[in-house]
Amino acid sequence: MVRTRGGKDNWVLPPDAGVPLGDDGVQLKEEEGETAATVMAAAAVAAPRVEIAVDFDKSLLDCPLCSLPLKPPVFQCPAKHVACGPCAESQANKCPACDGAYERDEGADRYLLAVRVPCPNQAYGCGSSLVYCMVSDHRLVCPHAPCRCPEPGCGFLGPPPALRGHLAECHQWQVTDIAYGSVLEVQMQALEQGRRLLAAEDGERLFLLVASERGVKVVRVSAAAEEEGPAASWYRCKVWVHAPVDTDTGHMDVVMLDAKGSCAVPSEEAAMGAGGRCLSVPSVVPAPEGGGIVLRLRIDKEVKASRSPRPRG
Q: Which of 223, 306, 312, 218 is nearest to 268 (CA)?
A: 218
* DSSP secondary structure letter of residue 164: H
User: Least distance (Å) from Zn ion to the CB of residue 248?
Assistant: 48
Task: For the beta carbon of residue 146, count every other beta carbon within 10 angstroms.
Answer: 21
110-169: contacts with Zn ion (CB under 5 A): 119, 121, 126, 128, 142, 149, 151, 154, 156
Q: Which is nearer to Zn ion, 163 or 216 (CB)?
A: 163
Q: Which is nearer to Zn ion, 91 or 187 (CB)?
A: 91
* DSSP secondary structure letter of residue 132: G
3-state DSSP assignment of residue 120: coil
Q: Which stretch binds Zn ion (CB under 5 A): 17-25, 74-82, 204-212, 266-274?
A: 74-82
| DSSP string for residues in 38-84 | HHHHHHTTSPPP--------GGGGB-TTT-SBP-SSEEE-TT-BEEE
User: Least distance (Å) from Zn ion to the CB of residue 5?
Assistant: 14
**Residue of the chain from 46, 61, 66, 115 that contacts Zn ion (CB under 5 A):** 66
Cα 157 to Cα 142, 146, 231, 296: the distances in Å are 15, 6, 26, 30
65 binds Zn ion (CB under 5 A): yes
How far is the C-alpha of 116 from the C-alpha of 126, rounded, in Å? 14
How far is the C-alpha of 274 from the C-alpha of 264, rounded, in Å? 10
Q: Which is nearer to Zn ion, 30 or 89 (CB)?
A: 89
**Residue of the chain from 13, 42, 97, 210 that contacts Zn ion (CB under 5 A):** 97
**Residue of the chain from 17, 84, 223, 239 that contacts Zn ion (CB under 5 A):** 84
**Residue of the chain from 63, 186, 197, 264 that contacts Zn ion (CB under 5 A):** 63
Pairing mode, strands 293-303 and 74-76: unpaired
User: Least distance (Å) from Zn ion to the CB of residue 289?
Assistant: 34
2 binds Zn ion (CB under 5 A): no
208 binds Zn ion (CB under 5 A): no
223 binds Zn ion (CB under 5 A): no
178 binds Zn ion (CB under 5 A): no
Q: Which is nearer to Zn ion, 240 or 267 (CB)?
A: 267
User: Least distance (Å) from Zn ion to the CB of residue 109?
Assistant: 14
36 binds Zn ion (CB under 5 A): no
User: Least distance (Å) from Zn ion to the CB of residue 13?
Assistant: 11
CB 235 within 8 A of CB 209: no
Q: How many residues bind Zn ion (CB under 5 A)?
A: 21
71 binds Zn ion (CB under 5 A): no
For 198-201, the CB contacts below 8 A with 24+ separation are 198/299, 199/164, 199/175, 200/299, 200/301, 201/177
222 binds Zn ion (CB under 5 A): no
Q: Which is nearer to Zn ion, 100 or 215 (CB)?
A: 100
Q: Which is nearer to Zn ion, 162 or 294 (CB)?
A: 162
* DSSP secondary structure letter of residue 162: H
Q: Which of 115, 123, 237 is nearest to 186 (CA)?
A: 237
Q: Which residue type occupies 20?
A: P
Binding site for Zn ion (CB under 5 A): 63, 65-66, 77, 79, 81, 84, 87, 95, 97-98, 100, 119, 121, 126, 128, 142, 149, 151, 154, 156
